[in-house]
Structures are given as structure tokens and as C-alpha cells.
Amino acid sequence: MMKEIRVQFETLEPYKEIDALRADNKAIGAVVNFIGLMRDFNEGDTVSRMTLEHYPGMTERALEKIVDEACGRWDLMGVRVIHRVGDLDPLDPIVLVAVASAHRGEAFKACEFIIDYLKTRAPFWKKERMADGERWVDARHTDDEAEARWQS
Amino acid sequence: MMKEIRVQFETLEPYKEIDALRADNKAIGAVVNFIGLMRDFNEGDTVSRMTLEHYPGMTERALEKIVDEACGRWDLMGVRVIHRVGDLDPLDPIVLVAVASAHRGEAFKACEFIIDYLKTRAPFWKKERMADGERWVDARHTDDEAEARWQS
Amino acid sequence: MIKVLYFARLREELKTESEELELDESTADIIALKLKLSARGDLWNEIFGGDETVMAALNQEVAQSDEKLKEGDEVAFFPPVTGG
Amino acid sequence: MIKVLYFARLREELKTESEELELDESTADIIALKLKLSARGDLWNEIFGGDETVMAALNQEVAQSDEKLKEGDEVAFFPPVTGG
């Protein structure tokens, strides 16, 4: 199992990561990936910029734990979780979760599981800048519900 | 809703398609995509090449129907389904299903729905070449089960 | 006339890609057409008269066996699909 | 000594990124520590003594309020996470 977890200030390049995940492994039949992108609109306001803060050390531990849990639940050939921090502009990728497996069912489940848990358990915080100031983004109730689905 | 459905003999370039799907739309917050790849191994045998046959006309209609059904069920901003036909080598992408939406839940569901239905309803047939001959691939029972999940 | 197409394993085994048939009693619906084809014997009988799963499409939509045929229809027979 | 970290909205509002505190009765566990912090009044009280949801981590793992603290521990307080 190829596993790569990274938190970075540099621009996230999803395609480079997916290529690295596949790494010319001819046994991989399915790659499912989620790309989270910065939107220019949230909660009714136009957002011009975003800053992502995180808790260095804890973030990596939290992501490791989530990925290990996914690897225990499903038969995977590779997982990559790359998360941006720092300043982001609209259209910038915020996060990539890419999962490779022999068949698609496991890749789909693992990919959604990882992003659902990341959203509620990994210590990242978004701050949005609008024309008239800035604000910290509130946690979404739907994210808790998404996570809860996996606890059965 | 940006919709693109294509069956092609040319090499499938997933990243080009995902870029086209996003099309600099700053309202897109989530892109989920499934890339189905040719494996060099199936049912215990090493596979050196694959030929994909389809039913021109019916294929496009079937894919349109599946995508329209997904668009009716979920709130999506873009869908792209590109499927290869002709001769493929290991590592070649066979199919891309890419879905864009404001939030991730809908993109995940729609992406998996489309590939599950494609697997059982779109008229494509795979023929594998091994060292000692060739064979048509048999339909997988798990694909029927995957499709059945959505009928409730 | 109706047009009949064969795909994948069926096309190869029957060595037939497509053919045109008169529209009459023996081609009134898909089940009648299958009987007519299996009556050709040998592989035709094995494929259309046996246990093999053969899917049918009528005018490029998946069809049930009892669907009636009319002048100009396109019928296709093929094994379960395996794309994606 | 224990180390206490503040993140995001908390760090900004409290104008504190981190501090070191003596390990004693008032920092015996996370709930005691929160009481001590809220006793500072003003924003500290609003955040640690009020209805605001404040998450706590102990040595970089999510922690419950009754977890005991020991010498050298790293405690962090932060709002619900919003990454991804």
C-alpha cells in the first residue's frame, strides 16, 4: 500500500499527485479522487480569498489515523491525502483525496470515508475574506452527519 | 449544467477532461472522479491487451439516459463521461466519470451512480488477449449488486 | 424489413454482424425472432435456444422479449455488457 | 509546566498563540484548566465559560474534558474544524 499524507503551503497539483499514486502500477483498476476547490461564494457572500490555518503535528497524526482506518476497512493499493494551508484564491484546490484499488467499490467508499472524517477530525480552519472584512468559517452540521454514517 | 458524453477510439486524457469540466467555474466546490484503468491481470491470468467493442448509437443514448437520471437526482454543476473503445494496453484509462458540484455529497453519489449504471446498462464489451489466446470478459455479478443499491 | 445486429461474442460466434429480415409472423416480436434464429440450428440454436443469457435491444433501447416489432425496427442481440 | 495552544478564532480573539502554565490543582485536568482560563474574565470567560463550542486536544489527540494532565503535556483549544 502506497500511502502519502502531506500538508503544504505550495499550490496543490492534483494531477501530479494522481500520477504519483498510480505510479505505473498495472494492477490498479480504479482510481477515485475527490478534489475540494475554493469557491468564490459562501453563505450568501462573495469570497475573494481564503486563509487556511492548521495545527502542525496534530494534523498529520489525525490524517494518518483516518487513512489507516480506511486501509483497515477496505482493500486498497494506494492512498494520497494532500491538504493546502496558507492563502488560497478562488479555483485553487484545497484538498485532494485520491484512492487506488483493484475494483471501484472499495476506492469509492475509502475516498468518501477519508474526506468525511477529515472534515470533522483534522484540525484545519478556514478564514474567508470578503469585500467588507473577514470571518472564520463555521463548522457545517452536514459534515457531522456525513461522518456519523460510517459509525455502524 | 455542463454535460459531455463521448465514446472515443483516441487515448482518454482524464486531466484534460477534468479541466474542461471545471472550466474556471468558481462556484464549483467539489469534483469527484472515477478513472477506470486497464489492469494487466484478470481472473487469474495475465492480460496483455484489451479490445473494447460497443454498439454505436445505443451507447450514447444509454449514457445520456444515465447522466440525465443522475442530474435529476442530485444538484450538479457538471458531468463528463468519456469511454474508450478499440485497442487498449495496460495502464490505459478505459473510462472517466467526472462530476462537479457545489458540495461533495452530491458529487460522490452521482459519480458512483453513473459508473454503477454504466457497468450494467451501457453496451460495451471487453475482449482480453492473453499469452495463449483471447476471451470475452464475463459480466460480473457484483456489478448487478452495485446497480441494485440505487433502486430504492 | 427489420434489421438485426449482433455484438461481441455473438457477432464472432455467429460470424454475422447484421442482417435484414422480412417482417412477418416469424418476426412479430422478439421472442418469435429468437425462435426463428434458434431454428437455424448449431450455434444459433445454442445461443438463442439454450441457457445462454442473450440481451435484446429494440431501436437502441433495452427490450423485453414480448415487445412487438414493426417495419424498419432495429433489433440487436448481445451478451451482458462489460464496459467501464 | 504544561503548554497551552490556541488556534484560529480563539488565537485571534484571545490574542494568544501559546503560553506555559504551572502544573497544579488549577491545571489538574482539562476541565480545571478551562475554569482557570475563564476566570481571567472578559473574552476568556465568554469563550471558556460560556456556550461556545471549544474543542480540546491533549498531546495532539482529541481529548475529553476529564482527562488528567501531567508535566510536559501539550493542550490545545480550538473551534470546530472546517478544513477540506
CATH number, domain at A21? 3.90.1170.40
Cross-chain Cβ contact A137/D61 below 8 Å? no
State the CB neighbour count (10 A cutoff) for residue B71.
Answer: 16
The answer as to whether D40 is a domain residue is: yes
| C84 assigned to some structural domain | no
- Residue C59: per-residue pLDDT: 97
Q: Using an 8 Å CB-CB cutoff, list chain A residues near B32.
A: 32-35, 111
Chain A hits for D78, CB-CB cut-off 8 Å, are 55, 123, 125
Considering only CB atoms, A95 lies closest to which of D12, D79, D84, namely: D84
| Residues B75-102: tens digit of each pLDDT | 999 999 999 999 999 999 999 999 999 9
Total number of domains constituting chain C: 1
**Cell 500538508 belongs to residue:** A7
Rounded CA-CA distance B33/B36 in Å is 10
Cα distances (Å, whole numbers) of residue A137 to A52, D13, D77: 10, 15, 17
A42 CB-contact burial (10 Å; exposed 0-12 / middle 13-18 / buried 19+) = middle
- Window D:16-55, CB contacts with A under 8 Å: none
* CATH number assigned to the domain comprising residue D28: 3.10.20.30
Cα A104 to Cα A29: distance, rounded to the nearest angstrom:
7
Asked if residue C83 belongs to a domain, the reply is no
Calculate how close chain B gets to A55, using CA atoms only, in Å: 23
- Contact of chains A and D by CB distance (3 or more pairs under 8 angstroms): yes
Spans of chain A below 50 pLDDT: none
Cell 492480460, residue located? B47
User: In whole numbers, what is the pLDDT of chain D averaged over residues?
Assistant: 95
Q: Which residue has the cell 496534530?
A: A58
User: Sorting pLDDT into bands at 50, 70 and 90, what band is C3?
Assistant: very high
Task: Quote the CA–CA distance of A149 and B20 in Å, as a whole number.
Answer: 32
Strand order, beta sheet including A133-136: A86-88, A49-54, A124-130, A133-136
Residues D12-21: b if buried by 16+ CB within 10 A, e if exposed: ebbeeeeeeb
Q: Do C61 and B83 touch (CB under 8 A)?
A: no
Indicate whether D84 belongs to any domain: no
Predicted confidence (pLDDT) at residue C39 exceeds the cutoff of 80: yes
Structural domain that includes position A58:
2-148
B-chain residues near A24 (CB < 8 A): 91
B7 contact A CB<8A: no
Quick one: closest CA in A to D54, which residue?
A139
Three-state DSSP state, B15: helix
Assess contact for B118 and B64: CB atoms under 8 A: no
Please give the C-alpha separations between residue A126 and each of A54, A87, A134, C64, D3, in angstroms, as whole numbers. 9, 10, 11, 54, 24
Number of domains present in the structure of chain A: 1
Element (H, E) at A4: strand A2-8
Q: CB burial class (10 A; 0-12, 13-18, 19+) of residue C13? A: middle
Query: Exposed, middle or buried: residue A118 (CB in 10 Å: 0-12, 13-18, 19+)?
Result: buried
Domain assignment present for D12: yes
Residues of chain A contacting D61 with CB distance shorter than 8 Å: 58, 61
pLDDT in tens, C43-74: 999 999 988 899 999 999 999 888 899 999 99
Q: Which of B142, B115, B139 is nearest to C82 (CA)?
A: B139
Instruction: Give the residue ranges of chain B where pLDDT is below 50.
Output: none
Q: pTM for the whole thing? A: 0.95
Segments of A26-92 assigned E as strands: 30-37, 41-42, 45-46, 49-54, 78-84, 86-88
Cβ-contact B105, A142 below 8 angstroms: yes
Report the Cα–Cα distance between both ends of chain D, in Å, rounded.
34
Enumerate the residues of chain C whose CB falls inside 8 A of the CB of residue B36: 84
Are C1 and C72 within 8 A, CB to CB? yes
- Domain containing D20 equals 2-78
